[in-house]
């Protein structure tokens, strides 16, 4: 697969989730020039996969790939901060790692960074094994490394799998590192999620990992969603963007949590 095909795949993976991508977002994600992005957008439109808009591109509704619900409600794909978090998190992966990558959109940014890194240095990922319940993650990584998709009940609106079968598989696995997200995190309330299935999956993953790495932007800091799935002490490292509240950062450091501000 050449660079142009990899770029197309990354943009289409984002479009299937968020519905649209701006020129600026694509430039930041792919690390290419505006002219390169515009040529890519023109090709996707010519292929019937998308429709160009003012300063961006949207999924072609006729193709039937747009999900009824997308992660765009949290605007995760519209933030350069998430790209930077993904790039910083990729540096925490080592040769020989067995990883779990959750189905959140910030972790999907990590997958994009991993795919680019694998193209630049395939040796690093030749000995890495990835487990995930996310089709989006699978599509980004499958051509670059060993990926094991964990099945179960498919959730079209999230492009992932959940439920009893998913839980039972994860219970029997052990990971050297896991990368998970959260809808909110704090010292008092730990890691929280907005739906029971995701909370249960991440709870099991955290329990079965040697190193637990939370990817979350600063808007999640100090907030609590409906479901608590793990205490803050279960996290070894937080990768977030700059300008994390000093009080929250100090509290995390006192819990021996490494904080990386991308």
Q: Per residue in 152-164, pLDDT tens?
A: 999 887 889 999 9
- Is 3-66 in CATH node 3.40.50.720? no
Q: Could you give the percent of the chain with pLDDT greater than 90?
A: 59
Q: 5: how many CB neighbours lie within 10 A of its CB?
A: 10
| Stretch 79-90: mean pLDDT | 89
pLDDT of residue 13: 76
Q: Per residue in 10-57, pLDDT tens?
A: 888 777 766 778 888 888 888 889 999 999 988 888 777 788 888 888
Instruction: Return the domain boundaries, the chain.
Output: 3-66, 77-261
Higher pLDDT: 224 or 178? It is 178
Task: Tell me whether domains 3-66 and 77-261 share a fold.
Answer: no
Where does the pLDDT of residue 2 fall: very low under 50, low under 70, confident under 90, or very high at 90 and above? confident
Fold of 77-261: Rossmann fold (3.40.50)
Q: Per residue in 88-112, pLDDT tens?
A: 999 999 999 999 999 988 999 999 9
The number of CA neighbours under 13 Å toward the Cβ of 101 is: 33
Among 1-5, 125-129, 145-149, 196-200, the minimum mean pLDDT is found in 1-5
pLDDT surpasses 50 at 76: no
Where does the pLDDT of residue 67 fall: very low under 50, low under 70, confident under 90, or very high at 90 and above? very low
Among 25-29, 199-203, 233-237, 246-250, the minimum mean pLDDT is found in 25-29
pLDDT of residue 65: 42
- For the record, the structure tokens of 107 come out as 């972790």
């Amino acid at each position: 697969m050449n660079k142009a095909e990899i770029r197309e795949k990354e943009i289409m993976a984002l479009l299937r989730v968020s519905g649209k991508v701006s020129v600026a977002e694509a430039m930041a994600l792919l690390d290419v020039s505006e002219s390169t992005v515009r040529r890519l957008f023109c090709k996707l439109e010519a292929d019937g996969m998308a429709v160009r808009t003012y300063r961006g591109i949207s999924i072609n509704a006729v193709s039937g790939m747009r999900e009824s619900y997308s992660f765009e409600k949290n605007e995760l794909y519209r933030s350069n901060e998430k790209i930077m978090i993904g790039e910083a998190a990729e540096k925490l992966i080592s040769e020989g790692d067995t990883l779990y990558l959750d189905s959140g959109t910030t972790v999907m940014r990590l997958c994009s960074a991993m795919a680019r890194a694998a193209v630049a240095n395939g040796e690093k990922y030749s000995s890495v094994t990835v487990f995930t319940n996310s089709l989006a993650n699978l599509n980004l990584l499958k051509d670059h490394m060993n990926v094991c998709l964990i099945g179960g009940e498919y959730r079209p609106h999230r492009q992932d799998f959940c439920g009893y079968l998913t839980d039972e598989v994860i219970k029997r696995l052990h990971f050297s590192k896991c990368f998970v997200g959260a809808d909110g995190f704090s010292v008092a309330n730990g890691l929280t999620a907005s739906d029971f299935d995701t909370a249960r999956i991440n709870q099991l993953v955290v329990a079965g990992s040697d190193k637990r790495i939370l990817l979350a932007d600063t808007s999640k800091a100090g907030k609590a969603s409906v479901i608590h799935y793990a205490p803050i002490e279960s996290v070894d490292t937080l990768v977030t963007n700059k300008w994390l509240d000093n009080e929250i950062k100090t509290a995390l450091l006192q819990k021996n949590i490494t904080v990386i501000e991308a």
